[in-house]
């Protein structure tokens, strides 16, 4: 099982320098730990919480990375597809290795309004946005009545292509991941039970469309420390404060041994990759969780 990092890029602080320092430290920790994939997320209009944007952030941390896969999430309905394709292609050209595009539909009304992309239109916008971006990245010329443009092309093209990981939970989105994606990307809020249910639906959708996923990744929020008691105290406090509305079974925290035990169930379910995202926003804590994830990776690689 591969272990990658979905870096924490959200920080509730008035100091705009804290986030960049933490993000770079996380990337350096992931490199030292030998993690397999490095990615960043995508949100918009999050003020007063600072959220560092996917494209410039990944462009910066690629300098801390090597030829292992790297990429970022795009909440597709919030992006003009030509711009999105250009950003993907540019990042992929700078990356020294394979490039991963993670996609989501978005479910936060305030973000959608901030970007002029109503939630009521997100189904149409993600279908059309994906169709356009994928065609452009294949080097095709594209027109779109919905987006109001004709004969668009982009350059450069990704030198090694891209791998499309598509987030989905509801039936129509799972079917879309099977039709249009290289794989389905399990969301962080899934528990082992709900992950198994969605994974089963995804496999059925792949069978309907004659597709074989290149991998089966899932994202998990984690807090890893040398001391299991220390990590459990911090993790329990985060959940008691309502951490993202997640169930205890959806997250993993403790020392490397106990976090391995909590994540092992996903390998047993058939997931090939787990992307860990630090639960803690403290710069030192986030980077240390990422570095200790290297020990989790070593344990999950053992049959």
Q: Evaluate if residue 27 carries a pLDDT over 80.
A: yes
Q: Is the N-terminal amide bond of 207 cis, ω within 30° of 0?
A: no
In this prediction, residue 226 has a pLDDT band, given cuts at 50, 70 and 90, of very high
pLDDT at 280: 86
Say if CB 58 and CB 91 are below 8 A apart.
yes
As a whole number, mean pLDDT of residues 10-21 equals 92
As a whole number, mean pLDDT of residues 234-258 equals 97
pLDDT at 202: 98
Give per-residue pLDDT as tens, 77-112: 999 999 999 999 999 999 999 999 999 999 999 999
pLDDT at 50: 94
Q: In the predicted model, what is the mean pLDDT of the chain? A: 96
Considering only CA atoms, which of 285, 291, 277 is closest in space to residue 221? 277
CA angle 126, 152, 162 (to 5 degrees): 55
As a whole number, mean pLDDT of residues 243-270 equals 98
Distances (CA, A) of 77 to 13, 114, 149, 158: 28, 12, 17, 22
pLDDT at 277: 97
As a whole number, mean pLDDT of residues 39-65 equals 97
DSSP for residue 157: P
pLDDT at 13: 87
- Class of the CATH-defined domain 2-219+272-300: alpha beta
pLDDT at 283: 79
In this prediction, residue 7 has a pLDDT band, given cuts at 50, 70 and 90, of very high
Distances (CA, A) of 157 to 84, 126, 137, 141: 13, 21, 6, 13
Give per-residue pLDDT as tens, 178-193: 999 999 999 999 999 9
Residue 50: CB atoms within 10 A of its CB come to 17
pLDDT at 14: 86
Q: Evaluate if residue 281 carries a pLDDT over 80.
A: no
Residue-range domain boundaries for the chain: 2-219+272-300
Q: Evaluate if residue 51 carries a pLDDT over 90.
A: yes
In this prediction, residue 282 has a pLDDT band, given cuts at 50, 70 and 90, of confident
In this prediction, residue 255 has a pLDDT band, given cuts at 50, 70 and 90, of very high
* Cα dihedral across residues 63, 64, 67, 73: positive or negative: negative
Dmax (CA) for the chain in angstroms is: 59
Q: Are strands 99-104 and 162-167 parallel, antiparallel or unpaired?
A: parallel
Q: Evaluate if residue 302 carries a pLDDT over 90.
A: no
Q: Evaluate if residue 225 carries a pLDDT over 90.
A: yes
CA angle 280, 104, 247 (to 5 degrees): 45
């Amino acid at each position: 099982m591969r272990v990658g990092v979905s870096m924490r890029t959200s920080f509730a602080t008035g100091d705009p320098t804290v986030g960049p320092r933490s993000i770079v430290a996380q990337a350096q920790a992931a490199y030292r730990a030998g993690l397999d994939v490095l990615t960043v997320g995508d949100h918009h209009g999050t003020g007063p919480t600072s959220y560092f944007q996917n494209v410039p952030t990944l462009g910066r941390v690629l300098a801390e990375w090597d030829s292992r896969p790297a990429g970022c999430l795009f909440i597709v309905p919030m992006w003009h597809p030509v711009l999105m394709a250009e950003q993907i292609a540019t990042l992929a050209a700078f990356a020294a290795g394979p490039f991963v595009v993670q996609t989501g539909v978005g479910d936060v009304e305030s973000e959608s309004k901030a970007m002029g992309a109503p939630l009521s239109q997100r189904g149409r916008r993600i279908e059309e946005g994906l169709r356009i971006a994928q065609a452009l990245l294949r080097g095709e010329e594209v027109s779109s009545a919905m987006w109001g443009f004709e004969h668009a092309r982009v350059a450069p093209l990704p030198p090694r292509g891209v791998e499309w990981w598509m987030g989905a939970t509801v039936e129509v989105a799972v079917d879309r991941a099977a039709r249009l994606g290289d794989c389905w990307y399990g969301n962080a809020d899934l528990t082992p039970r709900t992950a198994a249910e969605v994974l089963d639906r995804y496999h059925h959708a792949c069978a309907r469309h004659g597709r074989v996923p290149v991998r089966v990744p899932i994202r998990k929020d984690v807090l890893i420390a040398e001391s299991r008691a220390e990590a459990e105290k911090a993790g329990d406090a985060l959940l008691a404060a309502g951490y993202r509305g997640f169930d205890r079974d959806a997250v993993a925290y403790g020392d490397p041994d106990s976090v391995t035990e909590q994540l092992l169930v996903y390998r047993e379910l058939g997931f090939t990759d787990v992307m860990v995202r630090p639960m803690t926003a403290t710069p030192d804590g986030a980077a240390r969780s990422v570095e200790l994830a290297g020990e989790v990776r070593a344990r999950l690689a053992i049959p």
